[in-house]
Structure 1
């Protein structure tokens, strides 16, 4: 079997399998996630981390134009020393983030779903002061991106059960 025949066989097999299991693209015509697009009013950020998080969520879900749902966020972050030299200098940190979220109906103020996601990123402190600050800022931004991805995935999974 030639390489192009294998690819065609795999593609057709995948199409048959996914079609038979009821798979629908999240943002497709009958996908539930389209109900979320531009309809979630996210609570205003209170600090630089929550600003980054809200920015990432709005990039994924759109900015609320006709809000039907409200998304409340409770973010906590902390820094842990990971690599300490013999003279007690920390050369690497992990930045840990924990995010609790609640999606509610703005009309009834009923809680529709809630959950918790967490993750971590790391950064090194072995460079100059400027390099360390840049690495810390980059780690914070990466952490907020990861948390936003996880919340978005959870909301997309729930979207099919949203009231019409």
Structure 2
């Protein structure tokens, strides 16, 4: 049984190699070309700090940056479920990040895109627990958005990077 699975894995790997597939973090992949090469903007608030922190966790801190990443973050909140007394017991946080990857030598945009997502949290507890839930939800949301940005950046074809 095990040898059968290994054969499938080997055939799959050979098929991918034959079609020009290169791993994103392999020697010729765009992911490895961006590791430690992107300078981030100074965060203006806690949300931008969490976004940048996650981006640095995934991409590494830029020691000699070739690119800079400009981000524009917008957030919103929607009340959802309500009780018979009219108070809300659930809220959604939504956010969108528009970003632009800029080549620092030429100052030109290499890649720009936008990502968005949402998360929910409970507002049915005390003020302290509601605040803690909201803060935790915002941190989860910034992590999701940062991961989406990194995923989009690793999809850039290596020959499109200067």
Q: 2:98 — aligned with what?
A: 100
Inter-partner Cα distance in structure 1 for 2:32 and 2:6: 30
Q: 1:74 — aligned with what?
A: 72
* Bigger mean CA deviation after superposition, 32-41 or 91-100: 32-41
1:159 Cα offset (Å): 5.1
Where 1:84 maps in the other structure, the secondary structure is: coil
1:72 Cα offset (Å): 0.3
Inter-partner Cα distance in structure 2 for 1:63 and 1:159: 22
Where 1:102 maps in the other structure, the secondary structure is: strand
Contact 1:26 1:33 in 2 (8 A): yes
Q: 1:133 — aligned with what?
A: 131
* Runs ≥4 residues deviating over 6 A: none
Is 1:11 the counterpart of 2:19 in the alignment? Answer: no
Structure 1: tracts of 5 or more residues without a match = none
2:144 counterpart (136, 143, 146) = 146
Q: 2:32 — aligned with what?
A: 34
Q: 2:82 — aligned with what?
A: 84
Q: 1:62 — aligned with what?
A: 60
Contact 1:35 1:159 in 2 (8 A): no
Aligned length, in residue pairs: 161
Inter-partner Cα distance in structure 2 for 1:151 and 1:80: 24
2:109 counterpart (108, 111, 124) = 111
Inter-partner Cα distance in structure 2 for 1:130 and 1:17: 55
Structure 2: tracts of 5 or more residues without a match = none
1:13 Cα offset (Å): 2.8
* Bigger mean CA deviation after superposition, 122-131 or 70-79: 122-131
Contact 1:36 1:159 in 2 (8 A): no
Where 2:81 maps in the other structure, the secondary structure is: strand
Inter-partner Cα distance in structure 2 for 1:7 and 1:136: 46
